[in-house]
Amino acid sequence: MQSLMSATHSKLRFIIEYVKMSSYQGTKSGTPKMENLNTEHVRGRHVLIIEDIYDTGRSMKELLIYLRTLGPHSLRTAIMLHKCNLANLEYNYVADFVGYAPAQHKEWVDS
């Protein structure tokens, strides 16, 4: 995150919000819970969600649904690791920017 801030600091005005999303209770996935979202920074703005791992997809689905109700100008997602499995296929979701998705994009590994 520090690299992103340094690279864009002089060129763009932006606000960074850290939102805690959790859906795991021990080792089992449950209902996603969201903490620390300042909704005032969403309406009418371009929003980019940066996520480390997309696993089951439940948390991302809930976050996207909620953020859309707040009226952002645009809503995009960037995921470092997109796990491709049956659990997240039901959500039919693919991030706008994907760093690595091993099961679907084997050619990225072979390059």
The full set of domain ranges for the chain reads 25-110
Give kind and range of the element (H or E) at residue 7. Answer: helix 2-8
Percentage of the chain beyond pLDDT 90 is 14
Q: What is the pLDDT of residue 110?
A: 42
Give the CATH number of domain 25-110; options: 3.40.50.2020, 3.40.50.300, 3.20.20.70, 3.30.1490.20: 3.40.50.2020
Does 110 participate in catalysis according to the annotation? no
pLDDT tens digits for 20-67?
877 766 677 667 777 788 888 899 999 999 888 887 777 888 888 889
> Are residues 18 and 5 in contact, defined by beta-carbon separation less than 8 angstroms?
no
- Which region among 11-25, 81-95, 96-110 has the lowest average model confidence (pLDDT)? 96-110
Residue type for position 14: F
Q: What is the pLDDT of residue 105?
A: 47
